[in-house]
Amino acid sequence: MHRNGLRSDGSDRPRRYGVAHEADIFVGKVLSDQGRGVDGGILAGIEWAIANGCQIVSMSLGADVASVSVAYETVGQRALAAGVLIVAAAGNNANRAAGRPGLVGVPANSPSIMAVAAVDPDLGLANFSAASNPVAGGQIDVAGPGVRVFSSVPMPVRYGSKNGTSMATPHVAGIAALWCEKTGRTGRDLWSLLTQHSRRLGLPSLDVGAGLIQASE
């Protein structure tokens, strides 16, 4: 564990946080402090982000529901039309070691929302990372780092390591912001750019989609 933002090697050099360090961040709270919420609040948060000109929406949330939500797909299409890319966690309902691949749930299974899987530091598939869902739009699109990710945690601990597709999702959103800054691409064009530049992995596309997300050079 790293305390006070210091490195584990004892160095007093501060750790860097995030991916797109020059991006403007809009924070919309759509879940309770216990991590629960209702669809109406989440959908309102997406609408708020679109109205405020946000170009990327990162959602580390979801439900283990196989069918596509008409409400999320509707707002997802509206977002893409407005040049807004929504990135969402695929889900942590798998147990690969036990032979249970899980499936991508709502809202990541919407055709208009990018679904993010998680890989570990060795680029192996995270045990908990959900597999593609056979519904239209339910496939994994890309993967990001989601195991032992250094993160902020509730006080008084402050910092620790976290696992989840919810950790991989903000990595992808940050890299999307870097590509947006560099190229001016947004919405569907940005989505295409991210998948085209992803690094192929030695894992099934059903699990990692186009592969590991890559930052622009």
pLDDT digits (tens, 9 = 90+) for 138-174: 999 999 999 999 888 888 988 889 999 999 999 999 9
Q: What is the CATH number of the domain that holds 93?
A: 3.40.50.200
Does residue 10 fall inside a structural domain?
A: no
Mean pLDDT of 74-102: 97
Per-residue pLDDT at 130:
98
pTM > 0.95: yes or no: no
Per-residue pLDDT at 6:
42
Least confident of 11-20, 73-82, 116-125: 11-20
pLDDT in tens, 15-49: 666 899 889 999 999 999 888 999 999 999 999 99
For 76, the token pair is: 């997802």
Per-residue pLDDT at 33:
87
Does residue 81 fall inside a structural domain?
A: yes
Assign 3 a pLDDT band (cuts: 50, 70, 90): very low
Mean pLDDT of 11-17: 59
Q: How would you label 82-113 residue by residue, b for 16+ Cβ within 10 Å and e otherwise?
A: ebbbbbbbbbbbbebeeeebbbbbbbbbbebb
Domain total in the chain: 1
For 117, the token pair is: 């899987």
pLDDT in tens, 178-187: 999 999 999 9
Residue with tokens 């989609």: 209
Helix (H) or strand (E) holding 205: helix 205-208
* Domain hosting residue 51, numbered range: 39-208
The answer to whether residue 97 scores a pLDDT higher than 90 is yes
Does residue 107 fall inside a structural domain?
A: yes
Per-residue pLDDT at 2:
31
- The CA-atom distances, in angstroms, between 98 and each of 37, 61, 73, 188, 199 are 30, 24, 32, 36, 27
Separation CA 83–CA 67 (nearest Å): 25
Does residue 158 fall inside a structural domain?
A: yes
Does residue 2 fall inside a structural domain?
A: no
Phi, psi of 115 (to 5 degrees): -95, 130
Percent of the chain whose predicted confidence (pLDDT) is above 90: 83
Does residue 30 fall inside a structural domain?
A: no
Does residue 24 fall inside a structural domain?
A: no
Per-residue pLDDT at 217:
76
